[in-house]
Amino acid sequence: MASKFSLALYPWVYVAQYKGSDDWSGGLREQEHMTPAEEAALSAEERQALLGRRNWIEGLPLVNYTTQYGFGCFEGLKAFPQKDGSLKLFRPDRNGERMHRSMEGLRMPPVPVELFVKAVRSMVASNRDLGFAPAYDPAWEQDNFLSASSVYVRPFSYSEPGIGLNLSKEPFFVAISTPVGSYFDMDAPSKAITTEKIRATPGGTGWIKCDANYVIPTLEKHAVMDRGYMEAVFLDAATQSFVEEGSSSNIFFLMSDGTLVTPTLEDTILPGITRDSIIQLARDRGVTVVERKVTIDEVMQDAEEAFVTGTAAGISYLESLTHKGTERVFRERAMGELTRELLHELKGLQYGAVADRHGWMLEV
């Protein structure tokens, strides 16, 4: 499964900087653009040049604590086209809460949740009003929205100018958006393998969605992809016996007794918003969901389904997990029934085909 993220940034971006006393100065900025139809009619070279210019934001410093030392954090969320022509964001308040915690964890002034949601909402609306948003396609209903498109939103922090080991006192808050297509390639292998690499250590920054946390997982994911696997699974740093996360995703296992198990949140595991949503949707179905430490030995002996969760795909099933040369195959390498039901319900909810019982969708 390969990501369909794009660097074709939409024209409107949001940029604000902390100026002290809870003052975030800034707002929406309109970058260079034509109409969507005019941009599509450009030659490949002309369009690439335009998109390249749009990827630079005036006023953001080159040398700072983010570019030099990784002092930065980010979020990822989506806006989904609806059948009535509207766009809806999926749980943006939860992303705002997590970014607030991440910025506090990096000892920088945090963006207020209300500002986060307002910024994201207004930016997506401004781009939609220019025609930069996918339209709902009834054909998506044929495969339960697995082939559907959406708007990907990337809010992030960015430090003021600085060099030398120091903290960011006047960070920028930036939000951009891009088109994103289907994440799924059902013909690609979905095998996973454990790794001896360490993603996060107790007492560290594993619970923060910060830039630095993605270096080791990205390196290891590509290393296992070279060997024919889709996902690297990380174990705990202290004993290498407890399952923690995938390379950029939370992980779930359906055990033989019908219990859905996911590793308990500790300071080495990112509190995923899709993770939280899947726990609720499974419990709505009457499934017993347990958050606890789960050993790799238990998984290899007793798990019947396995999947990882995250913003990009929602749910990605694992056909097998290999540990120390032994492979555990799940559901004869097919997506399990519970995994499929949860995936279809999540996608249906996001695109408006399933009732939003929990009030998770916010209209733009």
Per residue in 88-99, pLDDT (tens digit) is 999 999 999 999
Token pair listed for 263: 């590793």
**Average pLDDT for the chain:** 95
Which helix (H) or strand (E) is 114 found in, with range? helix 113-129
Is residue 188 predicted with pLDDT exceeding 80?
Answer: no
Q: What local confidence, expressed as pLDDT, does residue 185 receive?
A: 66
Task: Calculate the CA dihedral of residues 189, 192, 193, 197 and round it to 10 degrees.
Answer: 120
Domains, the chain, with CATH or none: 12-180 (3.30.470.10), 191-350 (3.20.10.10)
CA 200 to chain CA centroid, Å, is 18
Average pLDDT over residues 287-315: 96
Q: What is the percentage of the chain residues whose pLDDT exceeds 90?
A: 93
Looking at the predicted structure, is the pLDDT value of residue 1 above 60? no
- Most distant CA atoms of the chain, gap in Å: 58
Q: Is the pTM of this model over 0.85?
A: yes
Query: CA-CA distance, 281 to 300, in Å (whole number)?
Result: 25
Split at pLDDT 50, 70, 90, the class of 186 is low
Q: Please answer whether residues 184 and 1 qualify as being in contact, where contact means their C-beta atoms are separated by less than 8 angstroms.
A: yes
Average pLDDT for 288-302: 98
* Residue 297: partners with Cβ closer than 8 Å, 6 or more residues away: 241
Number of Cβ atoms within 10 Å of the Cβ of 32: 10
The tens digit of pLDDT for each residue in 128-173 reads 999 999 999 999 999 989 999 999 999 999 999 999 999 999 999 9
pLDDT of 44-70, one tens digit each?
999 999 999 999 999 999 999 999 999
pLDDT for 22 equals: 85
Dist. CA 170–CA 159, nearest whole Å:
7
Please name the helix (run of DSSP H) or strand (run of DSSP E) that holds residue 47, with its range, or none.
helix 44-54
Average pLDDT over residues 170-197: 88
Output the 3-class SS for 302-335. HEEEEEEEECCCEEEECCEEEECCEEEECHHHCC
Q: Which long-range contacts (CB under 8 A, 24 or more apart) does 317-321 make?
A: 317/190, 317/343, 318/190, 318/191, 318/192, 318/230, 318/231, 319/189, 319/190, 319/191, 320/191, 320/192, 321/191, 321/192, 321/193, 321/194, 321/233
The pLDDT value recorded for residue 187 is: 65
Residues 106-128 pLDDT 10s: 999 999 999 999 999 999 999 99
On the question of pLDDT at 361 being above 80, the answer is yes
What pLDDT, on a 0 to 100 scale, did the predictor assign at position 30? Answer: 96
Indicate whether 87 pLDDT > 70: yes
